[in-house]
Amino acid sequence: MKNSILLFAIASMLFSCKKETSTASSSSTSGGSSSGSSSSSNTVPDIYTKIFGATSITSDGTYLTVKTKGIPSHKSCYWPTSNALYESFANGSTTFNGEIFSKAPNQIVDQSYTFKIPLKPAVNSAHSATPMGPIGFALDGVALYNQYAAGGVALGDEKKGFDQYYGHPQATGSYHYHVEPLYITKVKATKSSLVGFLLDGFPIYGPEENGATVAESALDAYHGHTAVTADYPNGTYHYHTTAVSPYINGNGFYGTPGTITN
C-alpha 81/C-alpha 73 separation (Å) is: 15
First to last CA, the chain: 84
Q: What percent of the chain has pLDDT over 70?
A: 85
Angle (CA) 172-115-216 rounded to 5° is: 85
pLDDT band at 35 (very low <50, low <70, confident <90, very high): very low
Q: Is the pLDDT of residue 5 over 50?
A: no
Per-residue model confidence (pLDDT) at position 40: 63
**Beta-carbon contacts of residue 33 (< 8 Å; ≥ 6 apart):** none
Q: Give the Cα separation of 21 and 28 in Å (integer).
A: 11
- Got the DSSP string for 56-119? EEEE-SSEEEEEE----SS-BTTS-TTSTTB----TT-B-GGGPBP---S-------EEEEEES
pLDDT single digits (tens) 144-199: 999 999 889 999 999 999 999 999 999 999 999 999 999 999 999 999 999 999 99
Mean pLDDT (whole number) for 15-22 = 35
Residue 4 has pLDDT above 50, yes or no: no
Tell how strand 63-68 and strand 167-169 pair up. unpaired
pTM: 0.84
Greater pLDDT, 14 or 31: 14
How confident is the model at residue 153, as a pLDDT? 94
Which of residues 169 and 15 earns the better pLDDT score?
169
Residue 12 DSSP class:
H
The pLDDT confidence band at residue 114, using thresholds 50, 70 and 90, is very high
Phi, psi dihedral angles at 68 (to 5 degrees): -145, 165
Surface-to-core class of residue 70, CB atoms within 10 Å of its CB (0-12 exposed, 13-18 middle, 19+ buried): buried
pLDDT in tens, 36-66: 333 467 899 999 999 999 999 999 999 999 9
pLDDT band at residue 3, thresholds of 50, 70 and 90? very low
Cross-strand partners of 114: 67, 261
Please report the pLDDT score of residue 42 as a whole number: 87
Which residue has better confidence, 38 or 112? 112
How much is the mean pLDDT over the chain?
Answer: 87
> What pLDDT shows up at residue 34?
27
Is the confidence at residue 77, as pLDDT, over 80? yes
Residue type (1 letter), 145: Y
